[in-house]
Structure 1
């Protein structure tokens, strides 16, 4: 039981140190490669002509937006 408490305390100290470092740096969290913005893409799907599945999803969403109560 003592070993469990010691390991838990160490993990707690590490998480606390990471959170303090994050707060001090005031940087937004990003992936290791900088995310989609680093590639110059403005959205997740940057295709000129979306696939049929994507078109169906977009049409369904548009229909849902039109039928929504305002």
Structure 2
């Protein structure tokens, strides 16, 4: 029983450390194979017209990109 508890504790510790790293780095979790991007696709569905949720995400990404460009352009240092 002690081996089980020690092993369980080690797994919980590793999971907690990974969660802290994820929270602070704000990176997306990605697999080692590269996922759908390695196939050259930008989205999972093959719809000719993106759904409303996808349109909202694309608009948000565009706003973030423009804001980052503006900050970079107006940087003093």
Q: TM-score, normalising length from structure 2?
A: 0.46
Q: TM-score, normalising length from structure 1?
A: 0.50
Greater Rg over alpha carbons, structure:
1
